[in-house]
């Protein structure tokens, strides 16, 4: 992997229709280039039917379907919605660590010189 690569994590909502995943794929296709890696996280059952360009991949977590404005149920697996949500939380990639360059510089400036 290149040292100057960019890793982009995208999330595509997975309720009814194809619009969310199609829009996410269109954005990914326009962002991908040498040195750019894109991972799409989705619950869409059709994500695997799309041709992924080089540099783009996806992870499918259990899909959820919106029944009402406040109720979502699992799409394929027949488990309690709370269990499906728990699986979705544990299957999500870890959040990247964020650094604050200004804070880091300030801390190093406060250290005594050797």
The predicted-structure confidence for 51-85, as pLDDT tens digits, reads as follows 888 999 998 887 777 788 888 787 777 787 777 77
Rounded mean pLDDT of the chain?
75
Residue 1 lies in a domain: no
Report the length, in residues, of the chain. Answer: 114
Residue 93 lies in a domain: yes
Residue 70 lies in a domain: yes
Residue 31 lies in a domain: yes
Based on the structure, what is the number of domains in the chain?
1
**What is d(CA 61, CA 33) in angstroms, rounded to the nearest whole number?**
26
Query: Which strand (E) or helix (H) includes residue 83?
Result: helix 81-91
Please answer whether residues 96 and 80 qualify as being in contact, where contact means their C-beta atoms are separated by less than 8 angstroms: no
Asked whether residue 32 carries a pLDDT value surpassing 90, the answer given is: yes
Residue 49 lies in a domain: yes
- Nearest Cα to Cα of residue 21 among 67, 69, 56: 56
Find the largest Cα–Cα distance for the chain.
Answer: 64
Residue 65 lies in a domain: yes
The pLDDT of residue 66: 79
Residue 99 lies in a domain: yes
Range of the domain at 70: 6-110
Residue 74 lies in a domain: yes
User: Which segments of the chain are extended strands (E)?
Assistant: 6-12, 36-42, 56-60, 64-66, 72-74
The pLDDT of residue 3: 66
């Amino acid at each position: 992997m290149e040292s100057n690569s960019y890793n982009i994590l995208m999330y595509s909502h997975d309720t009814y229709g194809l619009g969310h995943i199609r829009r996410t794929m269109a954005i990914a296709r326009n962002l991908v280039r040498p040195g750019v890696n894109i991972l799409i996280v989705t619950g869409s059952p059709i994500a695997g039917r799309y041709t992924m360009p080089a540099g783009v991949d996806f992870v499918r977590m259990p899909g959820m379907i919106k029944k009402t404005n406040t109720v979502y149920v699992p799409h394929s697996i027949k488990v309690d919605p709370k269990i499906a949500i728990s699986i979705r939380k544990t299957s999500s990639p870890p959040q990247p660590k964020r650094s604050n360059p200004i804070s880091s510089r300030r801390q190093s400036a406060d250290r005594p010189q050797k």
